[in-house]
Each structure stands twice: as C-alpha cells, then as structure tokens.
Structure 1
C-alpha cells in the first residue's frame, strides 16, 4: 500500500499484550484514513453504547495517507474515541510533529484498549514497543512530563486534568519542548479516556520513509499545492498574526462570545486582538511539520508579577477565556490559557465553564469567589476544576451536567453536551445549524459559515437561505480533509486534495467520488450517535441563543427559523424527520452493516 505503512499497532493494557496486524486495504479505500478509518475501527472495536470511561472504550490514534508526507500541512492526525463529555462519537485533530513521527515508526493506526494496573507510558521506537512504569510522572503537569520524556522522542501526554478524568481534559503534544509547533488534542475529553486507562504518555520515534505510487507526479502535485497556498492573499496575514487575527472582525460582526454569550461584542476586544497580541507578547512564529503557513505563535508575557511563556493563545482561547470571561488584557487572557495547557484542559470548554460559573454566581446558583475580568480568581477556579476540588469537581463534568444539577440550563451554552466554540450563531445563523448537527457536539471545524456570512456569500446577512446546503456540502468536504489528514487552514481546492491523494496512494478517486466518501464518513459517525440515542430533539442549541436577540435586533434566530434549517438539512442528507439516516441512504453509501 503506497503512502500508508500498512500496519495497525494494538496495545491491550489489561492483558499487557502488544500486537500488530495489517491494515485492511478495502477499508482504506472506502474510508481513506484519519477520521474515516478511525470511525470504522471504533465500530469494529467496541459496542457504541459502552461507557466512555470503561476500559473497553478504545483510544485510537489515527494518521491518514498524507500524514507525514511532503504534502503541505501534512503534520495533522487525530484521536478517535467515544467522548466522556458527550457520550457520543469523537474525533479530535492536532498538528505538530507527533503524527509524522508515528508514520515514520511504521504505524498508520495505534489502538489502545484496556486499563493498566498502575500508571504507565508507552514507548515506541519503530518496532520496539514497550509499556513502561510511570509512577514518577503521575501528578505532573505538561511541562514537567515533556521535560522528563523529551529525549525519548515526540511526546503525547496528559496533565493532571486527564488523570482526574475531567470530562473536557485534552491530550497535549510537545507544547513546551522540541523545535517546531506542538498542539492539543483539544475537544471532547480524549485526555480523560487516556487517564482512565492509567496512560500518562505515549513517546514515539521512527526511521521509516514513505513510499508513493508515483513519486514524480506526487512531487508535481505538492509543488502545485504549495503554489496555491503561497498565492492565496490571506496567507501573509495568517502567517503574521495567526488565528487571533479574527478577534476584531468577529467582534465587529457581533459574533464574539462575551460575558457567557450574553452579548456578541466586547468593548475591549482590541485589547485582546491578534494585532495587540502581535505587538506586545509574540516572540516568534512556530510551524507544524511540513507547513509553509507557520501560524503558531510563541508568546512571553508577565502576569501578576511573574513571567510566563508558551505557545498561544489561539483565537478560540482568546474568545472563550478572554471576552467570554470578560478579561480585558491579552496578558490576563494568555495567563488562563497557559494554565489550561499546563493542567491539560480544553480551553474552549474551560472558557465556557468559567463563564457559566461566573453567571451562576451572579444569579446566586452557586457561591464561589470568581468574577468577570479577574484572571486571578478564574485561574484558581481552573485549578480546582483540574484537580476536582470543591465546586471544581462538578464543573469538571461540563456545563450540561453542571447546569442540570445547579440550574441555568437556558444559558449553559452547549449542544449535545459539548460547549460552543468562539462564534455566536446569532451573528451567523448558519453556525446554529453547524453546531447542532456536528457529529461530536458543538464544533466550528466541521463547517465554518462565518466568513461566507460576514462577506455576504450567504445572504441575507441575518437569514437562513442556503445555510442547510452550505453546511451539508462543507461537512462532507471536511470529513475527507480530516481523513487525508491535512489542515483545514490550507486553502486548497477539492481537485487539489484529490490529486495529492491519488498520486500518493495510486487510488483513482474522482472529485465526485471523493466527496461521496466524505458523505459516507459523515453518515457512519451519525450512525454511531444514533446507536447512542441521538434524535432530532438532541440536535438543538440553548434557549439563550435561539430566543434572545443580540445588540442588533435582527441578530435573532428564533426557533421557527432554526427548525426550518434543520428540516432542510435532514432532507438534503436523506435522513428522516428525526434525523436518522434512511435505509435507502445507507444502502447508497454502502453502509448497510451499520444500521
């Protein structure tokens, strides 16, 4: 198999057993890799109704055929598992260098099942795979863990939040060590799954080289892709400012989460913008493996008399831990984001949880010392969440579970249990549908309508026309990109993705078949969720977002508009009125065995 290693590594912690098997070529052709192949393997290796924190829930590390290749942005890979936050399907993507090193080690996929009797870390050096004792690492946070293991290879690890099984704990990779960019397997609580298995880290090193179906044609395709990226007019801006460049335009268009999504614009937005960040705390750019964009930012700043440095914050962290928590300085915002990285917490969910907690305090639902624009008390609350101390233990369950216990469900900003990212749907109605229908809960990466709505490509500005079709088509295309696996920041056409895939693997996809594969993958993950009881009633958004207008009266969605978009979307998908794929749709997509 060209561009694949052709191997799956299995690690059974309960039996202390390590084995290898061949990658099924038919499955690779049908689901590509990454998200798609990971979803298929999740079905193969568990009952979908399994408790996410059970030893039987596999943690699947997935590369794609283009991961680690010379294709631009090929440092991407993903973790697939059942989410402890949503109890649904989860794939969480990350860049950096770990995925490329995993491919070099000779493995396309690593499946970790079971539970070790005591803390361990997994060491992989080509075919030398060992399960090693990690008592000396347990209790350490990200920096200390990476420092202890960096000489052995690329490091994938959890912080104390993962050990304590915080439901939105992330997995970090090379955040504070090694040259090049690190990253977070951020959303959905994969860190809690890793912690539930008593796995502190995976360290990997490899020496294998990739082989391509047609070396020269693949080189030509790579050259064409690089030209496409370098000629894109937005790339210099993204390279200079990174994702935080979106703070000001998103704020101006009433999309910036502010004070727990009670407003869509923040009066101090410029203080936490990409421009301000660039001028005050950015030290240098950082790039993922084989990426010409280099949008990562290494920052150095002072807060409360102490110096800090780390990689970030990204736009999402600024939106949720900045404006959503009322923080008026980039230094204060960076501080709470830094703490999340150290403890191993998803910054998006953490910002929602802290914002909700502050509002809950103001409405006398809970008694806790925390306030808007107070990074110091917010940081202490984040510590309590990570260590599950006091009220932090309940907040560690996420806003859905917390609000069901303490009240305030109408302003617990989540869908299917996952907290909202950094775009208020009242400023871009298509995002309401995107969040509600995302296969992993509220997510901006499965489809992003924001730019199209702000620029008028989807009109009227505050309307629902064309949103269902846009969401469906982009979900299918993203499902393919996340299976290759390449970065969604790469401004490449579908034809370009297909050319890279075909010349690397020897497959003969047409653009139409490629997108049909994305549709197949999307329906596969949908069926995993259907088997966990998801129907139309679950694919919704909170009352605050549906029924409360923003500062501009026209920034009001309304339940009727939302339900109309959802019905149109289900029709386009070939799903019934409850959001379940029909028998005919599954047959058309060759998914009959997953009904």
Structure 2
C-alpha cells in the first residue's frame, strides 16, 4: 500500500513521543513526503510564526516509494518554515536514512516545541524515546554519528544530525545523514538546533508494508530501471562524472556565474571540473576521485567519494581529513569555486568537507562568501573587519572563512546570516545574489532565461531543484528549447515545477527525471499504492502541492514583489559567451507565468484555481 499509515509526534517541550494514524484522505490529495508534510505543516502552524521559535514545527517525511525497489527510493524530506527566507522550507536528502524510517514502520515524524536541554531521538521499530544529548552538543555531524553508533553498539543504525552550525543557528545550516548526504537548503538545520534536537537515530527491521500489486510493481520498476540504464545522462554521464559533468558544459554556454555573478564564464572552470577530478595529481600521482557511490536503491550512483591531497595547505596538519569522504557535487564546486573565483580543487574539497562535517549548505555559504569578496574588493569590507585579506580567487580566504562560519567565530557569524542580511548590513543589498533570501545555485539566468523565471517563482527561494529547465534549455530533455528566448518558458517552468513536486512526494530522486517523465513514475505509484493514481490525478497532485506552498508563503507575508531577481541579472548584460549582451527578461515571463498558473496579476491563486484543486 506504499504507506505505513502511522506518524510519530515528538513534543520536545514535554519530552513525549506519541503514535498517530496517518491522514489517509490527505494521502490521496498529496501523495507523501514533500506534499503530505507540507499539508501537515500548513494545517498546524501560523504562517507568520518566527521560524526559530518553539511554535514552528519540523517534519521529516518519507514517500510511498521510499524504501521500495523503485530506483532511487531512498529519499526523505524535511519541511518547516525556513529561517533564511521566512518562506516554506522543504529540503530533500538521499542516503539511507529515509529508507530506515520506512523500515521502522513510520511515514513521518513531527517535531514540535523546544526541549529544555539538548536531546536526540532514538527510534527502533515501534519504540521511540528522547535521550540526553549533553555529551553530543558541540560535536560535529561526523562525531555525533560515530558516538551514537558506539552508544547503541549498532553499526547499522542510520543517523541524521546537525553540527555546530545548526547549534549556532547559522541560517543556512543543514541536516546531515550518512556523513555526507544532506537536507541541504533553506536552514532546516537551524530550526533543528533551535529546538535543542541534536540528532535522530533510526533502526528499522520491518521492511516495507504490503505493496498493492507486487507483480505489477516488479514489472513497472524493472521497466523504469531499464529506461535509466539506457539513457545517456543517467546510465553513463552521471555514474562516471556525477553532477560535476556540468561544470565545463555550463561554462561553455556562458551561464556559469562567476565572482558573485559579475561574469558568466570562469577561466579556471576546467581546473575544478569533473574531468579534473579524474586526472592524476602531480604531487602524489593519485586522482582526486576515488569512486562513485549510490544512495539506497539507486541504479544511477552519481555520488562522489574523493580523497584530498595530503600535502595541500588546508590539511597537511590535519590527518582526520586525509581519508576518502564525500566529494564535490556540481553545485558545491561552483559555489565554493567559480562564485568566488577560486580555481583550487583541493581547497574546494576542503571547504566541502567542513560543510559536511559541521552541517552547512555549501551553496549558500559559497555564494555568501562571493558577496563578501565583492564587498572587500569595493573597499566596503577590509582585512580588519573580516580578519584576513579576502579578494576574489583567494583559496586561503575560502578555507579560513568556512572554518570561521562553521564554528561561529569572528566574521564567520556575519557570513552565517546569509548574503541578503550581510549585504543589507553593509549598505549594498543589490549585491546579494538571492531570491527571497536564498542564494542562487550554479546557473546564470542571463544565459538560461527559463532558470531566471524558475528562481524568481520558487516557493523556497532561489532553487534549481524546483523547476530544472536546464534539462530542456541546455540538454534537450524532454525536448530542446532555446535558452535565450522567453517564449514558452512560463509553460515550461510550470510543467517542471508541478512534475518535480510529484517526484519529491513519491520519495524518489529528481535526477531520475533526466530519463523519466511522469509516465514512467505513474505505473510504479499505481502498482504500489491503493487508490486511483492516473496521470491526470498525479498532474493535479503536483499542481495542488505547488499552490498550497504558495498559499502558505502569501499568508506568511510574501507577495509578487518577492518574485524577483537581483538588478545585476536584469540590468547588467552578460559580458562574454553566447549570451553576451543579454539580461534576464523576467518582466516578460512573469505575467505569463501568473496567467498560466491561474493566479491574479498580483501572484495570488484565484478562487477558481483553488476550487479546482480542492484548496
């Protein structure tokens, strides 16, 4: 049936853990994971709540395909009100933690209130208890996971935790599971820290509750896996090169944001690319990349496991970083590298390790450093204020600033607020490359017009995973569209946004959408889950989730004015590459988007749209 039909409600203030039945009517409307958790959150909190107050709630949720034999069925979602944006925060993670939650018999865990002292939650099948985390507070995610396994004497327990960044409420702190998988964006780790919740450890031995039609499910998942294997991106490109395969590609088309988006091409892109990760180093004859890796049930295996050069200045006196660990993904490599003009692959790996170790989103961190470096070059910030020289291109500054931010030291406390608050404090709000307070990922909206619209309208702030039009505009998936034109982009963005909501809510990875359409996902859901799961219904589910998130944001005080881009992208033309002379034409696309969505010109869903979607 796809669901365990039960929720764990953890009242941190009272220290209680209570079992509840899952609302199966809501399941039919919102499917699971992202959609269902959003429905619960919206129903239980005031949209105007302070994200870091006890009145905010945080939900960890699985989907109906999580833990099953569906390829990539290892995802779980963390939904809350985000401290970085003040909007709905929904952060998705892979690894093995989500599947373990399902195996323990739970669809969702709802955290409410605030514990009077640091605690961690232990779940073993039907049993759940809060334990004292005094000995874990102040520890990194890596140390926390190791200590919990030692305490439980169970090497198979799965742990999701915050590091010092989450404890200090760095506004882009994330929640890390399996050492280097993360619910990464929007500051969900800061919310967890505000609740004095250090970690969640789960051991499940129940397996997945009965699939509705096992024969049909086996057939559907087998066929879908073949589609992934036969596809050039999911069957060849991602396994070999990971998401880093995009570095040189995006640079060549003139859409690689460089030095805080002042430029659209990075002269050292090849030095921090997937290809560079495969090359042997002169220093020790080893390659940066050790192997690829897969999350639970994944047949793509895009993950990177890398080993840093032991002689590099960042780690030569720190043996704990010498072993193989989570390697650079494209977004992190871009944010830590091109966004700051840093072309030192080992320095990027070091900064990435610190982000994993202490639980920080490398995208927001790197992009915030880019803003600080521009302020430094303008003379607004100086060595005394930052604590060291921080010009564009300084690997030394990057390495020091990641340590300071993770541990909340000196200028790192200011970086931990994100680029919006940093740039406002120093009188240059226009230098924050963000939407709704969340920093851009690795695609310049002048060279890829549709991404500008996707960023501006994303419900969780600037995001590539909410409507990845790069697939169409650059890679020709599912059909090729011209990245430099605005026509048809409103329809394209809406289609991607609605479909992604379904992928997320099913409990599968959005990377499958390089090969799958909803038509590949639908037979898997229909075979696994009771009820009618036709294509029409799934399309409606995706649209309903998007509009519910929008309603929450509107009620939280966000308006059409927040569906915007920094002036740099709409007024300063790209200086090089195929998009030279172009700006993003959001003003042309946004009114069309509102119309296609069935919203008013002010970006509010109309009564007819709400009625049609049952909202």
Counterpart pick for 2:161 among 154, 157, 171? 157
Alignment of 1:281-296 (within 5 A): 281-296=288-303
Alignment of 1:476-555 (within 5 A): 476-490=498-512, 491-552=515-576, 554-555=579-580
SS in structure 2 opposite 1:390? coil
Q: Is the 8 A contact 2:344 2:395 kept in 1?
A: no
Instruction: State the TM-score, normalized to the length of structure 2.
Output: 0.93
CA distance in 2, matches of 1:327, 1:568: 38
Q: Is the 8 A contact 2:335 2:441 kept in 1?
A: yes
Q: Is the 8 A contact 2:447 2:579 kept in 1?
A: no
CA distance in 1, matches of 2:551, 2:483: 33
SS in structure 2 opposite 1:426? coil
Alignment of 1:143-292 (within 5 A): 143-150=142-149, 151-152=153-154, 153-175=157-179, 182-210=180-208, 211-234=210-233, 235-279=235-279, 280-292=287-299
1:375 to partner: Cα distance = 2.3
1:344 to partner: Cα distance = 1.0
Give deviations 1:185-239, integer Å, cap 9, x for gaps: 1000000000001111100001112210111111111111111111112221210
Task: Kindly tell me the number of residue pairs found equivalent between the two proteins.
Answer: 583
CA distance in 1, matches of 2:580, 2:22: 49
CA distance in 1, matches of 2:25, 2:581: 47
Q: Is the 8 A contact 2:354 2:406 kept in 1?
A: no
Where does the alignment leave 5 or more consecutive residues of structure 1 unmatched?
176-181
1:467 to partner: Cα distance = 0.7
Give deviations 1:88-126, integer Å, cap 9, x for gaps: 101100100000000011100000111111111111101
**358 and 34 in structure 1: CA distance in 2 versus 1, 3 angstrom threshold:** same
1:308 to partner: Cα distance = 5.2
Counterpart pick for 1:363 among 349, 353, 378? 378
Alignment of 1:9-408 (within 5 A): 9-150=8-149, 151-152=153-154, 153-175=157-179, 182-210=180-208, 211-234=210-233, 235-279=235-279, 280-302=287-309, 303-304=312-313, 305-306=316-317, 307=322, 309-367=324-382, 368=386, 369=388, 370-408=390-428
CA distance in 1, matches of 2:583, 2:400: 37
Q: Is the 8 A contact 2:290 2:324 kept in 1?
A: no
Give deviations 1:129-152, integer Å, cap 9, x for gaps: 110011111111122112112344
Q: Is the 8 A contact 1:501 1:507 kept in 2?
A: no
1:507 to partner: Cα distance = 2.3
Instruction: State the TM-score, normalized to the length of structure 1.
Output: 0.96
1:268 to partner: Cα distance = 0.9
Q: Which residue of 2 aligns with 1:578?
A: 602
**13 and 461 in structure 1: CA distance in 2 versus 1, 3 angstrom threshold:** closer
CA distance in 1, matches of 2:76, 2:160: 12
Q: Is the 8 A contact 1:137 1:200 kept in 2?
A: yes
1:24 to partner: Cα distance = 1.1
Q: Is the 8 A contact 2:446 2:583 kept in 1?
A: no
SS in structure 2 opposite 1:427? coil
Q: Which residue of 1 aligns with 2:467?
A: 447
CA distance in 1, matches of 2:579, 2:189: 40
516-525 or 459-468: bigger deviation: 459-468
SS in structure 2 opposite 1:81? strand
329-338 or 431-440: bigger deviation: 329-338
SS in structure 1 opposite 2:20? strand
1:53 to partner: Cα distance = 0.3
Q: State the superposition RMSD in angstroms.
A: 1.4
Give deviations 1:515-553, integer Å, cap 9, x for gaps: 111001100000000001111111101011111111248
Q: Which residue of 2 aligns with 1:418?
A: 438
1:557 to partner: Cα distance = 5.1
Give deviations 1:429-461, integer Å, cap 9, x for gaps: 111100000010000001111232235755544
SS in structure 2 opposite 1:290? coil
Where does the alignment leave 5 or more consecutive residues of structure 2 unmatched?
280-286
CA distance in 2, matches of 1:262, 1:488: 30
Q: Which residue of 1 aligns with 2:283?
A: none
1:373 to partner: Cα distance = 2.6
CA distance in 2, matches of 1:378, 1:96: 28
SS in structure 2 opposite 1:131? strand
CA distance in 2, matches of 1:329, 1:78: 33
Give deviations 1:336-361, integer Å, cap 9, x for gaps: 11111112110000011111111111
CA distance in 1, matches of 2:190, 2:399: 21
SS in structure 1 opposite 2:201? strand
SS in structure 2 opposite 1:209? coil
1:19 to partner: Cα distance = 0.4
SS in structure 1 opposite 2:307? strand
Q: Is the 8 A contact 1:349 1:398 kept in 2?
A: yes
1:396 to partner: Cα distance = 1.2
34-43 or 308-317: bigger deviation: 308-317
CA distance in 1, matches of 2:256, 2:531: 42
Indicate whether 1:589 and 2:613 are aligned. yes
